[in-house]
Structure 1
């Protein structure tokens, strides 16, 4: 029996869209297929490249001892000068509000700050599609808001299309649109005005 069926979605550049649904509805599976971490058994997947995936737990993604070194880590696969690397790192950290932590050891950061460093690492690679898997699951309320606002700011600034998997309805107020999943299908799509009406009527 297939996990996903007839899933079609489009996220415009410069916008943050949420992917909602109950546990087991297929949200994370769909996100990992879009990221290339899982291969579908049939069908066609097309994602504008380059794309980046940010894990639920930043400790699964951060590998270097300092903020600067970690954001620069993924740039080793590109043929960049030291100046170009430095410029990309600075721009990415600025977009998520972490510029003043450039030299900080990663182990001294809060969970939300680590998550923003992971997002900066993705942006430094000049990704055009950002795939985010329940980033606020392990964070306190203050860090939750900080991470969402950092993503919202960087998506608009860098003209990135971002898809954020969540089960928290209160995070919808930060979204430009949303898709709802049930039993492996996209069953509803909401634009900004539809989300506003939905939240008012909760």
Structure 2
């Protein structure tokens, strides 16, 4: 039996205005796999990710996610709060009440995993967009996350940095057995995942092989309006 890292059953979520955002959504991501979540703007992708992270509460349905969970925002400036790289990653470990040496070891291991060990004392403001995203990911790794949720993490990056980030996340997922769900609208990123989900107006309308979904999306894009 395949172990599951993320499991959602019959999930429903409405805004306080009554607008339905997620409708009867059910999905599973196998443990240790890298899946992507697709959909047009307004389809509910980011809302679903926030429900999985516990940042929003559903009206009904079940969510089971292996803990701890790491969340990477589209804009890393929304989550990097300390002045330097090392301090920011260490800040995320405060609740664990670890001894100082254990914190240093966790920070160094996490930075090594994202190839930023030389930037331990670098001010956050001096980093590129791609480096900031990798620091955000390192923060999740330092907390030994079992599940990594990423909300369009390449949206603000240049093409070379986009590719570098998606390749790096796939490598981390496979080497560490992390379960990852990555929100995207970039078809080329589908070349790196194990599978994908397609969300439309809050309804999960397709799932499975990433290349098949990629072809379906390209056909939809090419249809005359």
Give TM-score scaled by structure 1 length.
0.92
Displacement after TM superposition at 1:166 (Å): 0.6
Q: Contact between 2:207 and 2:213, CA under 8 Å: does it hold in 1? A: no
Structure with more strand by fraction:
2
Q: Contact between 1:28 and 1:165, CA under 8 Å: does it hold in 2? A: yes
Partner residue of 2:210 out of 181, 195, 201: 195
The runs of at least 4 consecutive aligned structure 1 residues that moved more than 4 Å come to: 197-202
Displacement after TM superposition at 1:158 (Å): 1.9
Q: Between Structure 1 and Structure 2, how many residues are aligned?
A: 199
Q: Contact between 1:20 and 1:27, CA under 8 Å: does it hold in 2? A: yes
Q: Which runs of 5+ in 2 are unaligned?
A: 1-18, 219-225
Partner residue of 1:25 out of 10, 29, 43: 43
Displacement after TM superposition at 1:199 (Å): 5.2
Pair 189,50 (structure 1): closer, same or farther in 2 beyond 3 Å? same
Residue 145 of structure 2 corresponds to: 127
Pair 181,197 (structure 1): closer, same or farther in 2 beyond 3 Å? closer
Q: Contact between 1:106 and 1:114, CA under 8 Å: does it hold in 2? A: yes
1:160 aligns with 2:178: yes
Q: Contact between 1:34 and 1:45, CA under 8 Å: does it hold in 2? A: yes
Residue 75 of structure 2 corresponds to: 57
Q: Contact between 1:97 and 1:150, CA under 8 Å: does it hold in 2? A: no
Residue 88 of structure 1 corresponds to: 106
Bigger radius of gyration: 2
1:182 aligns with 2:206: no
Residue 143 of structure 1 corresponds to: 161
Residue 108 of structure 1 corresponds to: 126
Q: Which has the higher contact order (CA 8 A, sep 6+)?
A: 1
